[in-house]
């Protein structure tokens, strides 16, 4: 089998229907069983109909779908299972099973055969299952999904064994939703197929250019009985504009296409070209794949963040994938509604805090011209923040070299999945890790290299926490952009916005001295909707407004601040705790997306601001 790729990253193309490809969606109700005792594998649960009367929905977190605490608070594996008819027309085709995510790790069986395992809850994985299916026949698909977080997972956590069963502990502030959060697909291609594409873009004057690199496999070797062997196929590419008019063509697995009178992708203008890739042999198109392309550049210049050489100012939020009933399950209706609210409020950007979001979100952001900071699931690498001051975060007993390998793989998988999205302008490789010690510096230095090697075209950063202020943080030296989460006037100087304003400005001015662009990636105040006061009173709607106004006065006095992203877009679920009332209430919208008073304040500011 000839392989035309020199990359180490996971190689995959998102399933799509084309003239040569066909998908079958496996969403819906699947049989479901808890397996806290980890008996399922040895007992061969995959080999027969799962012994359960529960059926749960995919895509969704399983946690909130029933009314039972044992499901909501389950720790350990669960099993999903269903049958699917493999289309008769797929005879002679290569058949692939693709899961858009399984949180946090999974093993998959097709019939009795184990076909793939994957670590990490927010990136896709797939297996060639041709040998395990018969077109025209049904097949059983079983997925064991494990939500356990350990010191070897990203995000990390620890399971405590108690008299009442295992309890999952972790150091991040959102509920540990788990399950099959995104779609599952079966798809078919020709045995000779495209495997991968990377596009990078640029422009000079009115000419744009698109550099592409395509991977492919030729299928069974020469002389194979199915006749698919023979001469190596060739790659042909066609670039079309948004009206479908052909603007450039190319041949070969790599090349540069020139786009005269280019229509750039820009914030607020999600203009996309369509790059059709074809794998051709003897005049026959064996495989066809469509890749959207936004022609744009991103660059840091001193303390400026440039998109298409224009200074860009980020307005928007840190978000979560978090919904009533669905948990972290992807919902197209909510995606459309959230983006409508972002546009209503004048946000031009958001951060995929604190994990890679559904690929539908990125596709839609591309089309809407929304700008994304794309984050890995490395959140909570900071034991001290959650009362574990006795234990170092980075040590052989806690987060160690093995964890770093998992983290590196998470970075590679994020970049491999999202590098062709024009909406992504900045990688965030971690949120609020411990960053004051030599161990933190040693842990992170190689991870920045991993990110830059995977994508030399975008700036890289991580999100700094207030516990590592300017002068104490040993990791921000590796960043192209400084990203800060700060809560002056909330967690410190609570209720005293005048003192908060002075302290915040003093710290920001220190950071500004680095000469790098600064994005304030979190600032926010918990707000209970309907709570009011005439005097500055935390938790009231008026306080959230005054708190945001104070922050904005500070940002407007410091030229190096190139972005403001409020924490959070909407209220979201957390673990129970004495500083959380039915979840984290820092949303500018409630969990069911009703505006708090602050939404109108932000709308007035952001709709009045012209980017740059």
Is 432 near ligand GCB (CB under 6 A)?
yes
CB of 569 to ligand GCB, least distance (A): 12
Are 430 and 464 in contact by the 8 Å Cβ rule? The answer is no
Distance CA 303, CA 312 (A): 11
Q: Which is nearer to ligand GCB, 61 or 420 (CB)?
A: 61
Are 171 and 383 in contact by the 8 Å Cβ rule? The answer is yes
Is 431 near ligand GCB (CB under 6 A)?
yes
Choice among 522, 541, 560, 564 that is catalytic: 522
CB of 378 to ligand GCB, least distance (A): 12
Is 297 near ligand GCB (CB under 6 A)?
no
Q: Which is nearer to ligand GCB, 133 or 463 (CB)?
A: 463
**What tokens does 107 get?**
């093993």
CB of 432 to ligand GCB, least distance (A): 5
CB of 173 to ligand GCB, least distance (A): 4
- Greatest Cα pair distance, the chain, in angstroms, is 83
Q: Which is nearer to ligand GCB, 420 or 565 (CB)?
A: 565
Distance CA 308, CA 296 (A): 6
Distance CA 559, CA 25 (A): 49
CB of 574 to ligand GCB, least distance (A): 7
Q: Which is nearer to ligand GCB, 296 or 354 (CB)?
A: 354
Place of tokens 């089998």: 1
Distance of CA 21 to the CA centre of its chain: 26
Binders of ligand GCB in range 168-197 (CB under 6 A)? 173
Q: Which is nearer to ligand GCB, 151 or 572 (CB)?
A: 572
Binders of ligand GCB in range 572-601 (CB under 6 A)? 584, 586
Residues 6+ apart with CB under 8 A from 272: 242, 265, 292, 293, 294, 366, 367, 422
CB of 580 to ligand GCB, least distance (A): 9
Distance CA 447, CA 154 (A): 14
Report helix angle 497-512 to 541-556, nearest 10.
30
Binders of ligand GCB in range 335-354 (CB under 6 A)? 354
Kindly write out the interface string for residues 516-555 of this chain, putting x where it contacts ligand GCB by CB under 6 A and - elsewhere.
------x---------------------------------
Among 103, 288, 485, 565, binds ligand GCB (CB under 6 A): 485
Annotated active-site residue 564? The verdict is no
HEC string for 301-362: ECCEEEECCEECCEEEEECCCCECCCECCCCHHHHHHHHHHHHHHCCCEEECCCCCCCHHHH
Residue 443 burial class via C-beta count within 10 angstroms: exposed 0-12, middle 13-18, buried 19 and up: buried
3-class state of residue 217 by DSSP: strand
Report helix angle 541-556 to 597-608, nearest 10.
20
CB of 565 to ligand GCB, least distance (A): 11
Q: Which is nearer to ligand GCB, 129 or 519 (CB)?
A: 519
Please report, in angstroms and rounded to a whole number, the separation of the first and last CA atoms in the chain. 51
**What tokens does 11 get?**
């190689």
Annotated active-site residue 522? The verdict is yes
CB of 596 to ligand GCB, least distance (A): 15
CB of 521 to ligand GCB, least distance (A): 8
Across 151-260, where does the E strand assignment appear?
A: 157-162, 165-170, 184-189, 193-204, 207-217, 234-240, 246-251, 254-259
Instruction: Identify the H or E element spanning 262.
Output: none
Binders of ligand GCB in range 209-268 (CB under 6 A)? none
Closest listed residue to residue 294, CA positions, set 386, 210, 212: 210
Closest CB to ligand GCB belongs to which residue?
173
Number of shown-chain residues binding ligand GCB (CB under 6 A): 9
Q: Which is nearer to ligand GCB, 295 or 520 (CB)?
A: 520
Q: Which is nearer to ligand GCB, 300 or 430 (CB)?
A: 430
Choice among 432, 507, 541, 560 that is catalytic: 432
Q: What is the DSSP letter of 166?
A: E
Q: Which is nearer to ligand GCB, 303 or 429 (CB)?
A: 429
Q: Are strands 314-318 and 561-567 parallel, antiparallel or unpaired?
A: parallel
Active site residues: 432, 522
Residues that bind ligand GCB (CB under 6 A): 173, 354, 431-432, 485, 522, 567, 584, 586
């Amino acid at each position: 089998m000839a392989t035309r790729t020199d990359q180490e990253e996971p190689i995959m193309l998102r399933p799509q229907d084309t003239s040569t490809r066909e998908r079958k969606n496996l969403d819906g109700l699947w049989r479901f069983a808890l397996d806290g005792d980890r008996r399922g594998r040895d007992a061969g649960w995959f080999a027969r109909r799962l012994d359960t009367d529960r059926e749960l929905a995919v895509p969704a977190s399983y946690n909130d779908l029933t009314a039972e605490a044992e499901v909501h608070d389950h720790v350990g594996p669960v099993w999903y299972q269903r049958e699917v008819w493999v289309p008769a027309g797929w005879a002679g085709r290569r058949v692939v099973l693709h899961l858009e995510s399984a949180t946090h790790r999974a093993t998959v069986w097709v019939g009795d055969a184990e076909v793939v395992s994957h670590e990490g809850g927010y990136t896709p994985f797939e297996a060639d299952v041709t040998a395990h299916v018969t077109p025209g026949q049904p097949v059983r698909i079983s997925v064991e999904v494990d939500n356990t977080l350990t010191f070897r997972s990203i995000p990390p956590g620890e399971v405590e064994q108690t008299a009442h069963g295992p309890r999952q502990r972790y150091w991040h502030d959102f509920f540990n939703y788990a399950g099959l959060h995104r779609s599952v697909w079966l798809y078919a291609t020709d045995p000779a197929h495209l495997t991968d594409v990377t596009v990078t873009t640029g422009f000079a004057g009115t000419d744009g250019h698109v550099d592409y690199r395509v991977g492919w496999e030729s299928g069974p070797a020469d002389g194979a009985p199915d006749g698919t062997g023979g001469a190596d196929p060739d790659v042909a590419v066609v670039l079309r504009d948004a009206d479908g008019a052909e603007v450039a063509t190319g041949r070969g697995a790599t090349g540069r296409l020139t786009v005269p009178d280019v229509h750039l992708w820009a914030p607020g203008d999600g203009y996309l070209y369509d790059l059709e890739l074809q794998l051709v042999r003897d005049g026959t198109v064996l495989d066809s794949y469509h890749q959207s392309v936004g022609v744009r550049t991103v660059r840091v210049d001193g303390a400026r963040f440039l998109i298409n050489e224009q200074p860009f100012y980020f307005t928007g939020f840190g978000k979560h994938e978090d919904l009533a009933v669905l948990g972290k399950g992807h919902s197209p209706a909510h995606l459309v509604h959230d983006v409508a609210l972002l546009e209503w409020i004048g946000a031009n950007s958001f951060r995929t805090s604190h994990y890679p979001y559904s690929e539908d979100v990125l596709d839609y952001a591309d089309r809407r011209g929304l700008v994304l900071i794309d984050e890995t699931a490395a959140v909570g690498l900071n034991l001290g923040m959650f009362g574990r001051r006795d234990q170092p975060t980075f040590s052989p007993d806690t987060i160690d070299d093995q964890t770093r390998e998992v983290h590196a793989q998470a970075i590679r998988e994020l970049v491999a999945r999202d590098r062709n999205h024009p909406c992504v302008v900045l990688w965030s490789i971690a949120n609020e890790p411990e960053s004051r010690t030599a161990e933190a510096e040693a842990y992170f230095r190689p991870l920045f290299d991993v990110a830059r090697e995977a994508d030399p075209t975008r700036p890289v950063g991580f999100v700094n926490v207030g516990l590592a202020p300017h002068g104490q943080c040993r990791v921000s030296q590796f960043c192209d952009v400084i990203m800060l989460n700060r809560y002056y006037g909330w967690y410190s100087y609570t209720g005293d916005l005048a003192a908060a304003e002075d302290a915040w400005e003093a710290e920001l001015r220190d950071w500004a001295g680095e000469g790098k662009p600064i994005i304030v990636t979190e600032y926010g105040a918990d707000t209970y909707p309907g709570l009011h006061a005439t005097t500055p009173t935390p938790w009231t709607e008026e306080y959230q407004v005054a708190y945001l106004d104070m922050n904005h006065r500070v940002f407007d006095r410091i030229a190096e601040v190139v972005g403001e992203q409020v924490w959070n877009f909407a209220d979201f679920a957390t673990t129970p705790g004495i500083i959380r009332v039915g979840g984290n209430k820092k949303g500018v919208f409630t969990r069911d997306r009703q505006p708090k008073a602050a939404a109108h304040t932000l709308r007035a500011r952001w709709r009045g601001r012209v980017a740059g």
